[in-house]
Amino acid sequence: MKTFPGNISGSVFQIAGGDPIVPPTDCVFVAITALVATDFAASGGLVAETATRWANTEDAAGDLAADAETKAEGSGGVQINATNLDLPAGCTIYGKYTSIDVGAAGQIIAYYAKK
């Protein structure tokens, strides 16, 4: 029997113009694979469980001042917006996301796992 990597328990397919996707209760999206070149909606496109820890559209993760880094957050991060991220086909990003909304273009499969 084939097992999934880590604790992945399911997946969701979404296309541009579709409704935002949300994982089942007590789960988060842990991996997002672009099937074609994909962007995310500028607001609510990529909502992280912890906005300062995972790259997202709501805040700049890892954006502390230089020399102010902590065990939980680094420095120099930039917030994702409608123009600075075009996820190429075949690329997978990882994190902990509570909502995903593909922007004007794209198709993704998002994999979820229990928190």
Query: Is residue 61 situated within a structural domain?
Result: yes
To which H or E segment does residue 109 belong?
strand 107-114
Segment 2-10 shows an average pLDDT of 71
Domain annotation covers residue 1: no
106: in domain: yes
Domain count, the chain: 1
Range of the domain at 21: 9-114
User: In this structure, what token pair is assigned to residue 61?
Assistant: 């993760």
Alpha helix (H) residue ranges in the chain? none
What pLDDT sits at residue 83?
80
pLDDT for res 2: 47
Three-state DSSP at 32 gives strand
User: Has residue 80 got a pLDDT over 60?
Assistant: yes
Domain membership flag for residue 2: no
Q: What's residue 79's pLDDT?
A: 93
Q: How far is CA 95 from each of CA 18, 51, 59, 101, rounded to the nearest angstrom?
A: 22, 10, 14, 15
For residue range 29-74, what is the model confidence (pLDDT) as tens digits?
999 999 999 999 988 999 999 999 999 999 999 999 999 999 989 9
103 domain residue, yes or no: yes
Q: What is the pTM of this model?
A: 0.89
